[in-house]
Amino acid sequence: MIRMEQHLNLVEHPLVQHKLTIMRKKETSTNSFRRLLREISQLLAYEITRELDMTTTRIETPMGAMDAPTIGGKKLALISILRAGNGLLDGVLELIPAARVGFVGLYRDEETLRPVQYYYKVPDSLEDRLVIALDPMLATGNSSVAAIDLLKKSGARNIRFMCLLAAPEGVARMKEAHPDVPIVTAAVDEKLNENGYIVPGLGDAGDRMFGTK
Ligand code: URA
């Protein structure tokens, strides 16, 4: 079982911070934005999987036999919170190709402002897997909290949340609702604006990675 003791885990590695700065610039192209997000997702995945349970397997090298380390337990589950989560998913999946993959789709009801589920498909046996929920932007925290609620209802007990950028408001909301779910992020920005965007942030992550408006 991965043990991450802090609720908020900042990845301050120079490569992550440098790439994030390029992503923030308004003139950065869709193509570069997507590539940088994939690269950062792999560096965040390196941190989030640091304490995975290990076991050994007997192998033969050209020189002889050894008990060599391998990752133990059931395959990880990567859960993309649509649609921006897909920008993190590709890179993490490249690094952990055997992972199982799920998707959670939520939209915001304009009257109640509450997240409403429109899609939900996750791997089986979530209770036995490390579950990594992926969403680049932890803003109000409403959709993240709702997504984690759904995953817990499906049995997940060991969940990590990976994002690129977080707002203090979103971190606080997650801590209140899901104190057992550590957050791994590249940065915590200053605040949310009145439209729920992270400031200074990088704009709408989905639009920037898919070239929509
Ligand atoms: N979602 C985004 O894509 N950007 C923000 O700043 C907040 C939420």
What pLDDT does residue 1 have? 43
Please report, for the chain, the start and end positions of each structural domain, with discontinuous segments joined by +: 8-52+75-210
* Mean pLDDT score, 166-184: 98
**Is CATH 3.40.50.2020 what the domain over 8-52+75-210 is classified as, yes or no?**
yes
Q: Which residues are annotated as catalytic?
A: 108, 112, 204, 207
Nearest CA to ligand 1 atom 2: 204
- Residue with CA closest to ligand 1 atom 5: 197
Judge contact between 201 and 136, C-beta under 8 A: no
Looking at residue 128, the DSSP 8-state letter turns out to be: G
Q: How far is the CA of 132 from the centre of ligand 1 (A)?
A: 20
pLDDT at 112 over 80: no
Q: Please name the amino acid found at residue 9.
A: N
Q: How far is the CA of 69 from the centre of ligand 1 (A)?
A: 40
pTM beyond 0.85: the answer is: yes
Two tokens at 188? 């915590």
11 CA to middle of ligand 1, Å?
Answer: 19
Question: Cα(101)–Cα(112) distance, rounded to whole angstroms?
Answer: 30
